[in-house]
C-alpha cells in the first residue's frame, strides 16, 4: 500500500480532466456555468453590512488581493483552538466571532456562496496545504480513512480513486477524487454543494456510514485529499455530474 | 397557446392514454394520414399531431443536436436550427420540444419571428429517462417540420444521500 | 433566489444578427415531491421568458417542467436600432423578474 500511494499521488489529476468535452466547456464558460451565480452571491454577501456588526470587507479590504491564495491553504489547523478548519469552518469562525452574527449553517445557500466566492479568488493557484507539524495527525487520520475498506461493499476510497481511475461506473468516470473544484455545481444536485456533500454521496455509494457536514472524519479526509492534490489548481466553481 | 398546452398536458399525468384519446377526438385526428404514425411510437405521433393540429410535419430542414448519450438527465444541452430565410413572408413561428417519456412530455416552446434573423436556438432540458426527443417547428405558411433524436440517459454512480 | 446572466454584444452594425445567451438561476421546482409533512411540494418554475426590443417582442420561451434547473437559453435577433432589450420572466404564482441589456447599433 505504502509503495502504491507515493507514485500514484504524484500523478493525481483534477476531476475536470475526467469530464466530457461538453461539460468541460461548460465549466470554463462563465456564460454557461451556473456555479458563478453562487460566487456572485458570495461577493455580494461579503460587502453586505449585517444589522449589528461589520461587513467582511471592512476587515478584509481588497479581497481579490488579500484573500487570493487563502483557499489553497485549507484545511488547516487553527492556532488558537488546535482544531482542523476547512474554508467553511474559517468563514463560520469569522462570521460568529468577528462579525458577531449567527452561523450561516452547513450547506446553507449563504455558506456555499461565501465559500465559493472565497475559493474562486484562488482560481488557478496551486493547492498548498500543510500536512506536517500540527496538521500531521489529522493528515494521517485522513489517509487511514482513505485506505480503509468500508461499507457493505467493503471498498476503500483508494480502491476506486487510485485503483480504478479512468474506469466507467454507470454514468461516471472515476477520477482521483481530488476535490479541487468545490463547492461545485453538480447536475445531480441541480445546485452548488460542498465537498462534504460529495463525500457523503461516496459513503452512501459503498453503503458506509455517512458522516456529518464538518465532522472530524470528513475534515481529516479533506486534508488528506488536499495534500494528495498538492499543486493542482483551485477550480471552484467546478461543474460535475 | 402555451396555456392551453399546459392545461391539456397536465391532465395527461393521471391517465395519459385516456385523456389523450379525449384530446385526440377534439382535434379530429381521424383524418390523420398514416405516415405520421410510421416514424415513432403511436403515442409520440399523437403528441406531435396534437401540436400540429393534425397536420403531418415535413421531415426536413430541422437540425436537432442533442448528445445521444447523456451523462445526467437533469440538464441536457439541445440545439435546434431550422432552415428558413426568416423573412416576413417566410419564417419559423415557433419550435416545440417534446420528450414522450417525461411525466410531462411538452418541455418547451420557443417563439421566434422574422426579427430573429436566424432560426436557431439552444437550451437545457430535463429528461426523466432514455427516450426520443422531438423538435417540431411551425412555419409561417402553416406547415410544420420536425426532427427526432434518440437519447440514452445514464445514471450517476453515487446517489446522493446528503 | 432569482438571478440572470445575459451575454450579448454591446454593439452591432444595423442588420447584423446577434446572439443572446441567457443563463438563469432558478431551481425550476417541478413539484410533486413529498414535503415531509404529508403533502407535496407545489410546482414552482419560471414558466415564461419574453424579450422585447425596439417595440416588439422578439422572443418568447414557454417553459414547462422539462426545462432544466438553472436553465440556459440562446436565440438571435437582428440589430435594428439602438435600444434596450428587456427580458421578463414570469414565475408560477405570478412573480415577475426583469433585466435589461442595451444594444448600441452603429
- Tens-digit pLDDT profile for residues A142-172: 999 999 999 999 999 999 999 999 998 877 8
Q: Which residues touch A106 (CB under 8 Å, ≥6 apart)?
A: A88, A194, A196, A212, A213, A214
Q: CB-based contact (8 Å) between A202 and chain B?
A: yes
**CA pair distance A230, B27, nearest whole angstrom:** 65
Query: What's the complex ipTM?
Result: 0.95
C-beta of residue C83 within 8 angstroms of C-beta of residue C53: yes
Residue of B nearest to A107 (CA): B162
Distance from CA of C90 to the nearest CA of B (A): 13
Written as one string, the DSSP assignment of A73-95 is G-SEE-TTT--EE-HHHHHHHII
**Does residue A4 sit within a domain?**
no
- Residues of chain B in contact with residue A213, where contact means CB-CB under 8 angstroms, are 162
Distance from CA of A215 to the nearest CA of B (A): 13
Inter-chain residue contact C48 with B2, CB threshold 8 Å = yes
**pLDDT tens figures, B49-70:** 999 999 999 999 999 999 999 8
C-beta of residue C15 within 8 angstroms of C-beta of residue C77: no
Q: Which of C47, C73, C78 faces B115 most closely, judged by CB atoms?
A: C78
What pLDDT is recorded for position C34?
Answer: 81
Inter-chain residue contact A201 with B72, CB threshold 8 Å = no
CA dihedral defined by C39, B127, A31, B119, rounded to 10 degrees? -120
The domains of chain B are located at 2-32, 41-153
**CA pair distance C104, C88, nearest whole angstrom:** 20
**Does residue A8 sit within a domain?**
no
Inter-chain residue contact C67 with B124, CB threshold 8 Å = yes
What pLDDT is recorded for position B158?
Answer: 53
Number of structural domains in chain A: 1
**Does residue A198 sit within a domain?**
yes
Domains defined for chain C, CATH in brackets: 3-30+44-105 (2.60.40.10)
**CA pair distance C12, B4, nearest whole angstrom:** 38
Q: Mark whether A56 is an active-site residue.
A: no
Give phi and psi for A121, each to the nearest 5. Answer: -70, -15
**CA pair distance B69, B7, nearest whole angstrom:** 31
Complete edge-to-edge strand list for the sheet that includes strand C56-63: B69-70, B144-153, B131-139, B92-99, B106-111, C56-63, C46-53, C83-91, C96-105, C11-12
**Does residue A7 sit within a domain?**
no
- Residues of chain A in contact with residue B158, where contact means CB-CB under 8 angstroms, are 172, 201-202, 204-205
Specify the CATH number for the domain of residue A210: 1.10.760.10
Residue C1: closest CA among A38, A236, A239, A45 = A38
- Residues of chain A in contact with residue B67, where contact means CB-CB under 8 angstroms, are 22
CATH, domain range B41-153: 2.60.40.2470
Q: Which of A20, A107, A201 faces B158 most closely, judged by CB atoms?
A: A201
- Per-chain mean pLDDT for chain B: 77
**pLDDT tens figures, C75-99:** 999 999 999 999 999 999 999 999 9
C-beta of residue A232 within 8 angstroms of C-beta of residue A11: no
**Does residue A5 sit within a domain?**
no
**Does residue A185 sit within a domain?**
yes
Residue of A nearest to C70 (CA): A34
Amino acid at each position: 500500500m505504502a509503495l502504491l500511494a507515493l507514485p500514484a499521488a504524484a500523478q493525481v489529476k483534477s476531476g475536470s480532466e475526467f469530464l466530457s468535452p461538453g461539460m468541460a466547456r461548460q465549466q470554463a464558460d462563465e456564460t454557461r456555468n451556473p456555479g458563478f451565480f453562487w460566487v456572485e452571491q458570495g461577493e455580494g454577501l461579503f460587502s453586505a453590512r449585517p444589522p449589528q456588526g461589520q461587513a467582511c470587507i471592512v476587515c478584509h479590504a481588497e479581497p481579490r488581493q488579500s484573500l487570493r491564495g487563502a483557499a489553497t491553504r485549507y484545511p488547516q489547523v487553527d492556532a488558537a483552538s488546535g482544531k482542523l478548519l476547512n474554508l467553511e469552518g474559517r468563514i463560520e469562525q469569522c462570521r460568529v466571532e468577528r462579525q458577531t452574527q449567527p452561523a450561516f449553517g452547513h450547506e446553507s445557500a449563504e455558506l456555499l456562496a461565501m465559500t465559493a466566492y472565497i475559493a474562486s479568488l484562488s482560481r488557478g493557484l496551486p493547492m498548498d496545504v500543510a500536512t506536517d507539524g500540527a496538521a500531521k495527525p489529522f493528515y494521517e487520520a485522513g489517509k487511514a480513512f482513505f485506505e480503509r475498506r468500508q461499507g457493505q461493499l467493503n471498498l476503500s476510497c483508494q480502491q476506486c480513486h487510485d485503483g480504478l481511475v479512468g474506469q466507467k461506473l454507470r454514468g461516471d468516470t472515476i477520477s482521483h477524487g481530488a476535490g479541487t473544484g468545490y463547492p461545485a455545481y453538480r447536475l445531480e444536485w441541480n445546485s452548488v454543494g460542498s465537498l462534504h456533500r460529495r463525500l457523503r454521496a461516496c459513503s452512501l455509494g459503498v453503503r458506509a456510514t455517512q458522516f456529518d457536514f464538518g465532522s472530524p472524519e470528513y475534515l481529516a479526509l479533506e486534508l488528506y485529499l488536499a495534500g494528495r492534490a498538492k499543486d493542482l489548481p483551485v477550480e471552484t466553481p467546478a461543474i460535475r455530474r | 397557446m402555451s396555456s392551453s398546452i399546459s392545461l391539456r398536458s397536465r391532465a395527461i399525468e393521471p391517465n395519459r392514454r385516456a385523456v389523450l384519446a379525449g384530446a385526440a377526438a377534439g382535434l379530429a385526428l381521424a383524418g390523420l394520414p398514416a405516415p405520421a404514425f410510421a416514424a415513432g411510437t403511436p403515442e409520440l405521433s399523437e403528441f406531435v399531431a396534437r401540436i400540429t393540429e393534425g397536420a403531418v410535419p415535413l421531415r426536413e430542414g430541422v437540425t436537432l443536436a442533442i448528445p445521444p448519450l447523456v451523462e445526467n438527465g437533469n440538464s441536457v444541452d439541445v440545439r435546434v436550427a431550422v432552415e428558413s430565410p426568416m423573412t416576413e413572408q417566410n419564417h419559423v413561428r415557433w419550435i416545440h420540444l417534446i420528450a414522450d417519456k417525461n411525466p410531462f412530455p411538452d418541455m418547451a416552446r420557443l417563439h421566434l419571428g422574422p426579427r430573429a434573423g436566424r432560426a436557431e436556438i439552444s437550451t437545457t432540458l430535463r429528461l426523466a429517462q432514455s427516450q426520443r426527443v422531438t423538435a417540431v417547428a411551425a412555419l409561417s405558411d402553416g406547415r410544420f417540420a420536425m426532427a427526432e433524436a434518440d437519447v440514452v440517459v445514464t445514471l450517476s454512480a453515487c446517489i446522493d444521500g446528503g | 433566489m432569482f438571478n440572470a446572466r445575459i451575454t450579448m454584444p454591446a454593439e452591432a452594425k444595423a442588420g447584423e444578427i446577434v446572439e443572446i445567451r441567457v443563463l438563469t438561476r432558478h431551481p425550476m421546482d417541478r413539484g410533486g415531491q413529498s414535503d415531509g409533512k404529508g403533502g407535496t411540494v407545489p410546482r414552482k418554475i419560471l414558466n415564461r421568458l419574453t424579450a422585447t426590443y425596439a417595440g416588439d417582442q422578439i422572443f418568447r420561451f414557454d417553459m414547462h417542467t422539462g426545462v432544466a434547473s438553472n436553465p440556459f437559453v440562446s436565440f438571435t435577433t437582428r440589430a435594428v436600432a439602438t435600444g434596450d432589450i428587456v427580458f421578463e420572466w414570469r414565475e408560477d404564482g405570478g412573480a415577475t423578474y426583469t433585466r435589461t441589456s442595451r444594444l448600441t447599433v452603429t
